[in-house]
Amino acid sequence: MTSRDPWWANAVCYQVYVRSFADSNGDGIGDLEGLRSRLGYLELLGVQALWLTPFYRSPMADHGYDVADPRDVDPVFGDLAAFDAVIADAHECGMKIIVDVVPNHSSDQHEWFQAALAAEPGSPERARYVFADGEGDEPPNNWPSIFGGPAWTQVPDGQWYLHLFAPEQPDLNWANPEISEDLAKTLRFWLDRGVDGFRIDVAHGMAKPDGLPSIPADELKQFSELLAAPEHDPRFDADGVHDIHRMIRSVVDEYPDKLALGEIWVRDADRFAMYLRPDELHQAFYFGLTEAVYDADEIREAITSGLQAAESVGSHSTWTLSNHDVVREVTRYGDGELGTRRARAMALVELALPGAVYIYNGEELGLPNVDLPDEVLQDPTWERSGHTERGRDGCRVPVPWEGNEPPFGFSTAEDTWLPMPPEWRELCVEKQLEDPGSMLSLYRSAIDLRQKNPAFTGNTVEWFAGPAGCFAFRRPGGLICALNTSGAPVPLPPGDLLLASGPLAEDGYLPTDTAAWLA
Ligand code: BGC
């Protein structure tokens, strides 16, 4: 880290899925006042910034990613005064606030969409969305929606509108200048209230290719994956998107020291890096570690590619193991004791890297995904896939704070919006704070060292040769991080041990599924 680096360059940021973090009014749903009451915990954890998922007016068809008014707070989450109080208190604790914006689509309850439905084909109201004529009962093209089913819905006069996500999330027409003017207004609205940055939802969406070409029929099968766009997916990453990011950047730059961070599910490293050019986004979520299986070679490759992409355009990397859209890493890595041990190791790998780290709420507690019964599932994917895809609810179960039974201090309501498993009594914040061997204690120690120890400097990593299934890298400041994903203990690189994700073997060897920091 140099004194010229912006605040986000190497920050540890914490994603608050507001609905699941803390409920202040007993309706079983997390809210802004609940978050405010728990800021002390986040300060203790040592994070420098919070990313808040959407809390704007919304009918909640996609839990807030369907926005009916982007410049107001939904009553479920509080009001503008509650938001102002969160930001004031967070700043007092030295934490920055990043808020989500959702420019690819609006809610179908947005006044613009309601006006579009009431208006004629070809009207200025319809021109704010992507309306098109189909061929009889066939939609304008064969695009599937990310949540399953077709990406088009027909309205009574026969036209169709595009929704890359749920039908309640009509895509906005970014060829219409009114759309960018409105986003600029939204950005300034929140910047004037003091936010420190934006996480831009589906930042590889928005622009649509000319003529809206169909996907070749023989390729359609691979397009059903949630979010991750396969190569040449005409629905995402159209060249026109970069002008939109230049516009966003110019507005954000009207205010000093503010961050534009994009959610970019683009796997091609060169195309990903294009979003990070000096006049576009400052940073983008890189999902290499989210997608890598637990294998040293694959993880190393993901790290190298994430570093190179950012470096090639003079930007700073970001790392993330999970978020509210993916299976939690404890479960991905094998669940139970094994998954937890591996998740501990990966926490040290991630927190050793140069760049920003985004932690998803509950990750620091080692929460696994929850197998929820059919009748409580709420993610639109469940219905849209004809009950074949369970969707993302399993990673969104509320955070357990204290006590011995659900709702574990998350709420005073017995019925939380998703049920909390009784076994989580062992994972509550209160219990883990007292236990030096807990996941939470590991995160606290690791974040503290990362912040204070001069070994964590420099933007590059140098790889050591090591046994198969293992890796070690060194940062210019002197930090060495070693990971063992092989089946047997291996010797540690030389250096003084700073922290290990689990006990070392008798002779000081690094056991399987363990990571260590040395300097
Ligand atoms: C968000 C999802 C959301 C989708 C549509 C995403 O990438 O992270 O939770 O469903 O955008 O807005």
Instruction: Specify the CATH number for 456-518; select among 3.40.50.720, 1.25.40.20, 2.60.40.1180, 3.30.70.100.
Output: 2.60.40.1180
- What is the whole-number distance in angstroms between the Cα of residue 62 and the centre of ligand 1? 8
List C-alpha distances in Å: 43 to 12, 92, 96: 12, 10, 11
So what CATH class is 12-103+175-207+241-369+387-447? alpha beta
The pLDDT score that the predictor gives to residue 101 is 98
The full DSSP string for 465-476 is P--TTEEEEE-T
Catalytic residue among 5, 111, 178, 254: 254
d(CA 319, CA 12): 10
Q: Is ligand 1 within 6 A of the CB of residue 325?
A: yes
Nearest-CA neighbor of 313 among 281, 278, 264, 287?
A: 278
Catalytic residue among 66, 171, 196, 201: 201
The pLDDT score that the predictor gives to residue 217 is 87
The pLDDT score that the predictor gives to residue 3 is 61
The pLDDT score that the predictor gives to residue 477 is 97
Q: Work out which ligand 1 atom sits closest to the CA atom of 392.
A: 9
- What is the whole-number distance in angstroms between the Cα of residue 19 and the centre of ligand 1? 14
The closest residue, in CA terms, to atom 12 on ligand 1 is 65
Q: Is ligand 1 within 6 A of the CB of residue 227?
A: yes
All residues at 6 or more sequence positions from 187 whose CB lies less than 8 Å from its CB, including other chains: 101, 198, 248, 251, 252
Q: Establish whether 462 is a catalytic residue.
A: no
Provide the b/e sequence for 498-513 (b: ≥16 CB within 10 Å).
bbbbbeebeeeebbbb
Ligand 1: residue of 56, 201, 265, 266 to mutate (most ligand atoms within 8 A of CB) is 201
Q: Work out which ligand 1 atom sits closest to the CA atom of 202.
A: 7
**CB-based contact 11:49 (threshold 8 Å):** yes
List C-alpha distances in Å: 404 to 132, 367, 519: 55, 16, 40
Q: Is ligand 1 within 6 A of the CB of residue 66?
A: no
Provide the b/e sequence for 100-133 (b: ≥16 CB within 10 Å).
bbbbbbbbbbbebbeebbebeeeeebbbbbbbbe
**CB-based contact 348:311 (threshold 8 Å):** no
Q: Which fold has domain 111-162?
A: Oligo-1,6-glucosidase; domain 2 (3.90.400)
The pLDDT score that the predictor gives to residue 226 is 60
Q: Is ligand 1 within 6 A of the CB of residue 102?
A: yes
Q: Is ligand 1 within 6 A of the CB of residue 228?
A: no
pLDDT digits (tens, 9 = 90+) for 374-397: 999 999 999 988 999 999 999 999
| Residue at 389: amino acid letter | E
- Tokens for 357? 């780290």
d(CA 142, CA 234): 11
DSSP strands (E only) in 170-299 = 197-200, 259-263, 283-285
The pLDDT score that the predictor gives to residue 4 is 81
The pLDDT score that the predictor gives to residue 220 is 84
- Tokens for 230? 């396969």
- What is the whole-number distance in angstroms between the Cα of residue 65 and the centre of ligand 1? 6
The closest residue, in CA terms, to atom 7 on ligand 1 is 202
pLDDT digits (tens, 9 = 90+) for 115-154: 999 999 999 999 999 999 999 889 999 999 999 899 999 9
Each domain of the chain, given as residue ranges in start order, spans: 12-103+175-207+241-369+387-447, 111-162, 456-518
The closest residue, in CA terms, to atom 2 on ligand 1 is 325
d(CA 132, CA 365): 47
Residue 59, preceding bond cis, omega within 30 degrees?
Answer: no
The closest residue, in CA terms, to atom 9 on ligand 1 is 325
List C-alpha distances in Å: 148 to 42, 160, 223, 228, 326: 36, 17, 10, 14, 16
pLDDT along the chain (519 residues), means of 10: 82 98 98 98 98 98 98 98 98 98 98 98 98 94 93 97 97 98 98 98 96 90 67 91 98 98 94 96 96 98 96 95 98 98 98 98 98 96 91 98 98 97 98 98 98 96 95 98 97 96 93 98
Q: Establish whether 254 is a catalytic residue.
A: yes
DSSP state of 363: G
d(CA 229, CA 204): 9
